[in-house]
Amino acid sequence: MFSLSVSAVTTRCHLFTALHRCVLTSNAGLTYSSTCIGSTSLTNTPFKQESKISAVRNLCTDQDCNVSEKTCPSTENGEVRVRFAPSPTGFLHLGGLRTALYNFIFAKKHGGTFILRLEDTDQNRLVPGADEAIEDMLEWAGIPPDESPRRGGPLGPYRQSERLELYTQAALGLVDAGHAYYCFCSTQRLELLKKEALRSGQTPRYDNRCRHLRAEQVQEKLSTGGPRVIRFRLRSGVEPFQDLVFGWNQHEVAQVEGDPVVMKADGFPTYHLANVVDDHLMGISHVLRGSEWLISTSKHLLLYRALGWSPPAFAHLPLLLNRDGSKLSKRQGDIFIQRFQQAGVLPQALLDLTTHCGSGFATNRIGRKMEDLISEFNPSKITTHSALLDLEKIPEFNRIHLEQRIEDEEQSDSLVKDLQEHIQKAYAEEIQDKDVLRGSYITRILRLRKGHISSLKELVTPGYSYLWVRPSVSYQQVAALTSETQHITSLFLRFIEAQGEELSVEALSKDLKTLAKSAKATKYRDVMKLLRLSLSGLQQGPSVAEMMVSLGRREVIHRFQKLLLLSPIS
């Protein structure tokens, strides 16, 4: 049984009266008329007695209810307001991120407002913590909302569970105007209808039985206080609408569907009613959402007409699919944004990848930053074809964007801090020289490795441990390479001691080749192996010259001196 709490009616008068009339002020933007829809007290079971709902009698019949496009805040003065409205029944994934991104870009392209609204009316499927995590991930991705549950805003609340009075009044107004009706069909009856339709090879649909109940029958059933829902009365003659992506569309929903539920027995609205009410009251000018909602738009337009409101413009985005054409699924653990964050994927790389595989931009190059995406965005270039997402390209995109961040002084500072945390977490007990945590040292490493690494986390893998921890090398290891260890090491030690503090990879590469010729019986290749082993304890890795520049003159001297001290019993 759904009910209406009225304790907030007076304090939230400005929201309720928006169901009647919206006007613009010259300075503050949107304000509402001072006339509240009622000081009349509503009971906690508003559908039990029709006499108790006189406050919303004229919701959809008064002339004041007809909010034309000229008086709505979304279109007056061309203001653009868009929203991303996920359900916190799961964490944010790539499909949702792309929808949020296109809305964000569209808003910023037109100097508008990007809103996050949480559609949490499916209380049985809510995932604890998902609501906070969704906004966390939008902020991490660099597309923070202007208005949201966390940030607030002039047209909140921004959780649907906190707006129930608005939906209840809209639903009651639809009933009163003859656009909706109470349905008392039991779950068992509805299940039988579904089974019978499937058995006969038909699409399950409600048979609209309760729309034909007489007024006295409705009153009798309401008086019992039993469970009931409200259904919207579908009508034929749906007007075609022009989608900004898919062009002209029209779906005669009344011919293929039964009357849909708009208010459930638990007092929560369904998506169809809630999104229409919220989009109107929040002044949404453009609805950019997934193409799976395209077929439902005609139904929503019928609701707009019944409520006397002008609808926003619609743009349905083509689906984001896996590379093989299969649908992205929440069961795929690798599509959740938190997984990418934890794996060290940069948000810019993720946004670049999701737009690169789709359409809607003047160019389709790798390495675009947010300002590029905004300037190059063109909704007319969005195609109706599904976008195929190739997650195997993430390392390539991340490498390019990591290189850009390293080259940017301000962003490089944040990378240094992040890498410091990774180093301390990976090698806290093993670090012998705390200088490896200095910003100047880490910055040098980043600049030398840019273009070679795809994520910061690579720099704390075993292949780069020599940068942070002095390696352990045995006499047997060096003896397997050459019998001239002492001679070669002394030669290179004297060379590096004669160098200044500033080392150059290019100059060192030339000098190392020249010095290697001084070895009597050791080939150049084995000389380099000996030097690499003494510097890193590894047989593979960056060039010896880069290793020396990375470590710095003082540390290279220390490691060469340590090599000279090796003996058969060490």
Q: 40 and 53 in contact (C-beta within 8 Å)?
A: no
Give every CB contact of residue 479 below 8 A, 6+ residues apart in sequence: 485
Give every CB contact of residue 23 below 8 A, 6+ residues apart in sequence: 30, 31, 32, 33, 71
What are the distances in angstroms from CA 53 to CA 4, 14, 537? 11, 19, 81
**What's the number of CA atoms in the CB half-sphere (13 Å) around residue 433?**
16
What are the distances in angstroms from CA 144 to CA 83, 138, 147, 277, 566? 12, 5, 9, 24, 57
Burial 481-494 (b: 16+ CB within 10 A, else e): bbebbeebbebbbe
Q: What is the rounded CA–CA span in Å between residue 366 and residue 372?
A: 11
Count of other CB atoms within 10 angstroms of residue 293: 16
Q: 302 and 234 in contact (C-beta within 8 Å)?
A: yes
Token pair for residue 320? 């984001």
List the one residue out of 288, 327, 323, 343 whose CA is nearest residue 104: 288
Is residue 330 flagged as an active site residue?
A: yes
From 330, 417, 510, 523, the catalytic residue:
330
Q: 189 and 73 in contact (C-beta within 8 Å)?
A: no
Per-residue HEC secondary structure of 371-400 comes to HHHHHHECHHHCCCCCEEECHHHHHHHHHH
Q: What is the rounded CA–CA span in Å between residue 9 and residue 331?
A: 42
Count of other CB atoms within 10 angstroms of residue 113: 24
Burial 121-160 (b: 16+ CB within 10 A, else e): beeeebeeebbebbbbbbebbebebebbbeeebebbbbbb
Number of separate helices (H) and strands (E) present in the chain: 21, 13
3-state secondary structure of 177: coil
Q: What is the rounded CA–CA span in Å between residue 568 and residue 570?
A: 6
Catalytic residues: 330
